[in-house]
Amino acid sequence: MTTALFSVAGAVAVLASVLVVTSRRIVHAALWLVVALGAVAGCFGALHAEFVALVQILVYVGAIVVLVLFALMLTKAPMNPLPGLTTGRSPFAAVVAAVLALILGAGVVLAFGNEKVKPVTHGSATDVGTEIFKVWVLPFEVLSVLLLAALIGAIALSQRKLSERSDKLSSSEKED
């Protein structure tokens, strides 16, 4: 049952991912990303990691993809298909990725080819939350500091410099 569920979700995820990196329309790619991330969340669910699956949907689909769409909008991304969305190196990149996949896949198969996963329910919010605040408190706190740093960094990056702003202002005044 779980295997079948997982296989379906996995197939969807792979398909959607391929479309993400090959689609000629950027907005479509972003939407396909939603599908891929959702499918991965399904995979998590199939592995009885319900809390992670929920967080995945909430954070990724709910926050990150929306952020990406906002960014696309801000950068005036065209809706129509673009011929040159991939670089000239893409065949080479495909070869590199294929070789990498071959190596990694071979390694994984050699190492874990005969292992089985027993479906055990232990991924509820209660379980994970207990462990986070019982065992992983310190990394959790560090992560919060990191988030704060990222917040400040993002603000600092997107803030225009004062001189730049005055230049813009004066130039716009001149235009008027």
Partner 1 sequence: MIATAWRVTGVGFSLLVVLTAGLLYGTDPAQTSFMNSPVGDLTIGFGVRTDDLTVLLLAVVGVIATCVQVYSLGYLHQRPASYHALVTLFTAAMVTVVIADSLFLLLIGWEVMGACSYLLIGHYWERRDARSGAVKAFLMTRLADVGFLFGIFVLGVGAGTFRISELDPAQISPGVLTTGTLLLLVGVVGKSAQVPLQTWLPDAMPGPSPVSALIHAATMVAAGVFLIARLYDVFSASDTIMTVLAIVASVTMLFSALCAMAAVEVKRVLAWSTVSQLAIMFSGLSLGTADGRHAALFHLVTHAAFKGLLFLCAGVLLHQVGSAAFVVLRRYTRRGRLRKALPVTFATMTVGLAALAGVPGFAGFFSKDTVVEAAWHHARDGSVVGWIVLVSVCVTVVLTAFYCMRLWLWVFFRSPALAGALGAFEDDDPMADLEEPDTSKLRDAPWIMLAPLVLLAVASIGLGYADGVQLNWVLALVTTVLALLGALPAYSLWSRGADPRPVVLEREFGVDTAYHGLFVVPVRWFARLAVGGDQDVIGAYVRAAGRAGTLASQGFRRLQTGNVQTYLTAAVVGVVALAVVAGVISS
Partner 2 sequence: MPLIVPLLLAVVLFCIGVYGVLARRNAITMLMSFELMLNAVNLNLVAFDAWRLDGLATGQTLAVFVITLAAAEIGLGLAIVLLLFRGHGHVDADSARDLVEVDAVQQEKGAAT
Using CB under 8 A, which residues numbered 56 to 115 contact partner 2?
A: 56, 59-60, 63-64, 67-68, 70-72, 74-75, 77, 84-87, 89-90, 92-94, 96-98, 100-101, 104-105, 108-109, 112-113, 115
Cβ proximity to partner 2: between 94 and 170 the closer is: 94
Surface-to-core class of residue 5, CB atoms within 10 Å of its CB (0-12 exposed, 13-18 middle, 19+ buried): middle
d(CA 27, CA 8) in angstroms, rounded, equals: 25
**Binding partner of residue 131 among partner 2, partner 1, none, CB under 5 to 8 Å per kind?**
partner 2
Taking the least distance from each CB to partner 1, the nearer of 113 and 172 is: 113
Q: 68-101 burial by CB neighbour count: b if 16+ within 10 A, else e?
A: bbeebeeeeeeeeeeeeeeeeeeeeeeeeeeeee
Q: Which of 8, 42, 80, 128 binds partner 2 (CB under 8 A)?
A: 128
Q: Which of residues 78-97 bind partner 1 (CB under 8 A)?
A: 87, 89, 92-93, 96
